[in-house]
Amino acid sequence: MKEVAEDSIEIKSSTSLYKEGTQTGDIGSIIATAESILSRQMPYSDIIMSIGSSLPFGVIVDKISFNESSISGDVEIEFRAKSANVTPELIAGLQKSPMFSNVTAQPAILSTGNSPDYPVLITCVLSINKDGSL
């Protein structure tokens, strides 16, 4: 099941809609608002699947966080790798996906942290294309 970013829509109870005598107009407005919100949203699972399919061998995702507002701008993702030599391959893989653009990487850092098998930290910044697809 795909999950989408959370937005809230205030919906009046059907009793109050009926009493106001504007049931049809209010429902139409609610539907229009919902369609507007849904057209801007992107299932997070699509983003995660695109990231996963772009990873070269020996690279794992260490940290990613985004929400509806961050998807509109740049997203920072931390990867762990066995070697810093995979950085160009990682960037190329992300750039090949129609889901991402403006992919850049900061210099790789040797930092074992909680992942001694993946001692290299590679931080990438990218933009998510809402019109991109897997």
Share of the chain above pLDDT 70, in %: 59
pLDDT category of residue 66 using cuts at 50, 70 and 90: confident
Say which CATH class 44-128 falls into: alpha beta
Domain boundaries, the chain: 10-40, 44-128
DSSP, residue by residue, 59-104:
EEEEEE---HHHHTSEEEEEEEES-GGGHHHHHHHHHHSTTEEEEE
* pLDDT of residue 16 exceeding 60: no
pLDDT category of residue 70 using cuts at 50, 70 and 90: low
Whole-prediction pTM: 0.66
Q: Which two tokens mark 102?
A: 């403006």
- pLDDT score recorded for residue 47: 85
